[in-house]
Amino acid sequence: MDTIDVVVVGAGVVGCAIAERMTRTPGRIVTVIERREAIGLEASRRNSGVIHTGLHLRPTSWKAKLARAGAVQALAW
């Protein structure tokens, strides 16, 4: 049996993204541990997948500009 190089705890959005990135190294063995019956069934309150448009912010603020730019990029995916 091969040894495990990386263990990712949680198969939510972030856990799956980390696991996918870790598999890009040839020969690396990645194991994902999830408490639910399938992947992607939960999201932490910090990673809920909400796209913030910045509509409630002062339009010229950096936060509003970055929020709008991020929303455009996310929708282009």
- Rounded to whole angstroms, how far apart are CA atoms 34 and 45? 17
Helix, strand, coil percent values for the chain (each to nearest 5): 30, 10, 55
Q: Catalytic one among 16, 52, 57, 70?
A: 52
Tokens of 19: 């696991």
Distance CA 35, CA 62 (A): 39
Q: Is 52 a catalytic residue?
A: yes
Catalogue the active-site residues.
52
